[in-house]
Amino acid sequence: MSEIFILIPGRTSKQGCGISEGKFSEGYLSEINLLQVSPKDMQRLGLNDGDRVRLSSETGAVEVAVVAAKGDELPSGVLFIAYGDLSSRLMGQDTHGSGMPTSKGLDVEMEKIA
């Protein structure tokens, strides 16, 4: 059973520190490979921290582990992931004459991997 969400990739402290530690460092890789989901959506979809989901956009698909977002940081229906390899695989290819691929506010389909 899949559902459409809005994905917001963005910076985090850990991701920023991880860039200096190295793109192949454990800290960096673990941060960019973790999807934050609102606690309400986690509960509704029967997801637990560490469960893996498949995210698909019109340009790509990735598999990623989920974690509940802290407090009320994320509204229901919105997902967050730290910028990196996975988020970039999902962003749009067309820059609409701007040079900037649509990199935030992406429509993605989320499906729990059994």
What does the binding site for another protein look like in residue numbers (CB under 8 A)? Answer: 6, 8, 10-13, 16-18, 20-24, 59-60, 71-75, 78, 80, 83-85, 88-89, 91-93, 95-105
Q: Which is nearer to another protein, 27 or 45 (CB)?
A: 27
CA distance 94 to 75: 27
Least Å distance, CB 11 to another protein, is 4
- Rounded to 5°, the CA angle 22-25-29 comes to 105
**Residue among 12, 16, 19, 58 nearest 35 (CA):** 12
Tokens of 33: 């490979």
* CB 22, CB 16: distance < 8 Å: no
**Nearest CB to another protein, comparing residues 104 and 114:** 104
CB-nearer residue toward another protein: 49 or 75: 75
Question: Minimum Å distance from CB 13 to another protein?
Answer: 5
